[in-house]
Structure 1
Amino acid sequence: MANITSADQIKRDVSLVDLLAKLGHRPSYRSGKELFYKSMLREERTPSLCVNENLNVWFDHGGAGVSQKQGGNVIDFALAYWFPSDFGQVLKRISETMLLDLPANIQPASRPRKTTSQSEKLTNYKVTGIKEIGDNQKIKAYLKGRGIYEQAKGRIKEVYYEIVTGPKAGKSFFCAGWQNDLGSWELSNKGKHFKFKACLGRKGITTIAGSESRVTLFEGYMDYLSWLADNPKATDTVIVLNSVNLLDSALSKIASFPSVQAYFDRDRAGEKAFLQLKNVVPHAQDRSSLYRKYKDYNDLLISRPSQAVIYEESHIYEKMMSSFKR
C-alpha cells in the first residue's frame, strides 16, 4: 500500500485514468491528450466525458449529473461518482479502490481562491452537441469569412449548448469551438451585429504537440490557423494562449524549447506579453513584424485577394459562354 498523508497528495498522485480502470471503465477513444468515455455519471450513448491524462483532470461535455459537478480533479470526480457521499467517505473509497494506506487524520485538500474573468461567465450551461464543421452554414460562413475554413477542418468543431439558469435559461446557442488543455471549450463566433468569445468551463491554453526543438506561440486560435494556411507543412509544437493573460501558465512549457517564435497581436497587450516572455525566455523571437500593417496574423490573411475571386476572373470566359448554351 502507498502511504497517503493529505488529500492534496491524492489529487497529485492518484491517476484518474487508473481509478476509472479500477472501477471498470475504459475509454471509447483518444483525441490527442484527451481520453473520451461514455459518462458513468449519467446515461448517454455518445462518449462525452473527457479526461486529460497529462493534467489529471476531467470534464463532462454532456452536462452535470445528479451531483451537479461537471469537471475537476480526481477528488471532484469521486464526489460526483459516489454522490451523495461526503468528503471523508469519498477519500476512503478512493483509498480502498487504489489500495492506499489512508490515515484517520488525513488533511483536507487546499483549494485555491477562485478567480473570475469575463471569459469565464458561461458556467450555467449544458453542452448539447459536438459536431464536425460543415453542416451549420452560419459557422461555415464565419470561418470562411476569416479565411481559415480549410485549416479549421478537423481542428474546430460546431459546439451546441444551452443556458440552464438565469434570465436566458432554456435558450440554445452554437459557436465554432476548440478545446483547451483543461478539456474546456473555447468559443468564437461573429454575426452581423455581434462578436462573441467565451469559454465553456475553465479557461486554459491549447497545446498542439509537435517538434521538441521548436515552439510557436499565438494569442488566438484563428491566428494559429492563419499561420497554418501559410505554413501547411510546419511541424512546430504550437501553444495558443486563448487569452494573453494566460502567458504565465505557458512559460514553464516554453522555456525548454531551443527555438521560440511568438506571433502576438500588434497592440499594447501583445507588446507587453512579448516583453514578459522575453524576460523569462531570452531567446524568444518576435515575429509580429510579418504583419506590421495589421493587428494580427488573421487580419493579414483576410486582407489578401480572395482565391475565389482569382478563380472567377481566370474562368470568366467559360462562365460567359455557358450562359449562351441552349
Structure 2
Amino acid sequence: MTQLLNSTQLKEQASIVELLSRLGYEPVKKYGKEHMYRSMLRDGDNDPSFSVDDRIGAWYDHGNGKGGNIIDFGIAYWPTLNFNEVVEKIQTACNISPIRKEYRARLPVKARNYVIEQVKALGTHPAITGYLQGRGIFDLAKSHLSEVYYHVKNEKGEKKQFFAAGWKNESGSWEVRNKYFKGCLGQKAISFIHGDPKRAAVFEGFINYLSWLKDNPKSDYSIIILNTLSLLNEGISRAKQFTFIDLYLDRDNSGFQATKQFTQSLPYAADKSSAYEKFNDYNDKLVAMLRPPPANDPFERNRRNLSV
C-alpha cells in the first residue's frame, strides 16, 4: 500500500495544474498564473469557467460556486472515494513520494502571497453587502462576519486588490468569500463556536451555518464548520466529545460521501440534510425561498385572484 502524505504535505508538494494535466485536462486560456479550463466537474461547460491559481494552490468553479485546494478538488472529482483514497489518487497521479520532501511545485504557504490591509465591519462595501443580501443572510452575518481587504502580488511584483466577506478559523486565518471566489488567507482549519456541551451541528461552510441559524435562531448548539471537506477527519475527531450530532452537509456526491464517512465513524450522528431535500445545501433552499414566484406560476396567479 502506498505510504500517504498528510494533507499539509500533499498541498505543499502537489500542483493542481499538474494533476489536471495528468488527468487529461489542459487550460483553454491563461492570464499570468491563472489557468482557465472547461469544467471537468460539470457537463456542458462550453466556456472556460473553471479557474486555477497555482501560486496559491486554489481552484474555483464559477458554474457551481465550488472551490478550494487540491484535496477539495480530488473529493469533488472522485466523489465515491473516501479521504485516504483521494489522497492516494492525487499522490499517484502526480508521482509524489513521501521521501521527496524537498520537492515544491508551488509556493508552500498560501499566506505568504497575501497581505491583509484592513478588516472592517460589515456594511462598508456595497458589493459585499449585496452578495450577503443575495444569500439572504446579511442581518445575521453582521454579528459573525467581517469585511477583509487584501492584496496579492503577481510574478512582476504588481499588486492586485481584493475584498471579501470573511470569518476566522481556529488557526487564526481568514476564510474569505465573495461572489467570485472562495478560499482561505493562511492556514486552512475548522471553525468552532462554543455552545451546548452535549449537542453539536456540523456544516461545510459558514454561509450554510448562517442559513440554518436563520431557521433556528434560539438554538444553543455547539457549531463545527469544516470550511473544507479535506478537514472531515478533524471534524469527526472534534465531534466525538458530543452526545448528539446533527449533520448538515451538501446534498451532492461529495457531501453524501462525507456524511457516510461521518456516520460510519460516529454512528449516533444524524443526517439532517432532509431539511433542504430538494436543494444542494441549506443556503440554496433559503435563496430559493426569497425569490418571488414566476409571473406565470398558476398557483401564484390563483392566489392573487382569490385575494381580490
Distance 1:257 1:113 in 2: 40
Q: How much does 1:166 deviate?
A: 2.4
Aligned counterpart, 1:218:
203
- Deviation digits for residues 39-75 of structure 1, max 9, x if unmatched? xxxxxxxxxxxxxxxxxxxxxxxxxxxxxxxxxxxxx
- Separation in structure 2 between the aligned mates of residue 243 and residue 167 of structure 1, nearest angstrom: 31
- The residue number in structure 1 matching 2:287 is 302
Deviation, 1:181, is: 0.5
Distance 1:158 1:233, change over 3 A: same
Residue in structure 2 matched with residue 46 of structure 1 by the alignment: none
Shift in CA distance, 273/114, structure 1 to aligned 2, threshold 3 Å: farther
Aligned partners of 2:271 and 2:213: how far apart in 1?
17
In structure 2, the CA distance between the partners of 1:167 and 1:222, relative to structure 1 (3 Å rule), is farther
Letter in 2 for 1:130: V
Q: Is the 8 A contact 1:122 1:198 kept in 2?
A: no
Structure number, greater radius of gyration: 1
Contact 1:121-1:198 within 8 A present in 2 as well: no
Q: Unaligned regions of 5+ residues in structure 2, if any?
A: 1-100, 293-308
Higher RCO (CA 8 Å, separation ≥ 6 residues): 2
* CA deviation after TM superposition for structure 1 residue 188, in Å: 0.5
C-alpha distance in 2 between matches for 1:167 and 1:298: 39
Q: Which runs of at least 4 in structure 1 moved beyond 2 Å after TM superposition?
A: 112-117, 120-123, 164-169
2:113 is equivalent to residue 128 of structure 1: no
Instruction: Identify which of 124, 139, 143 aligns with 1:150.
Output: 139
TM-score (norm 1): 0.55
Write the distance in 1 (CA, Å) between the matches of 2:178 and 2:113.
19
Alpha-carbon distance between aligned partners in 1 of 2:227 and 2:137, rounded to the nearest angstrom: 17
Structure 1: unaligned runs, 5 residues or longer: 1-111, 308-326
Indicate the residue corresponding to 1:262 in structure 2.
247
- Partner of 2:133: helix, strand, or coil? helix
Match of 1:228 among 213, 221, 235: 213
Distance 1:279 1:256 in 2: 16
Q: What's the CA shift for 1:113?
A: 9.1
What is aligned with 1:275? 260
Alignment counterpart, residue 241 of structure 1, candidates 226, 243, 249: 226
Q: 1:178 aligns with which of 167, 187, 206?
A: 167
What SS does structure 2 have at the residue aligned with 1:274? helix
Identity %: 42
Q: Distance in 2 between the 1:264 and 1:131 partners?
A: 30
Give, in angstroms, the shift of residue 163 of structure 1. Answer: 1.2
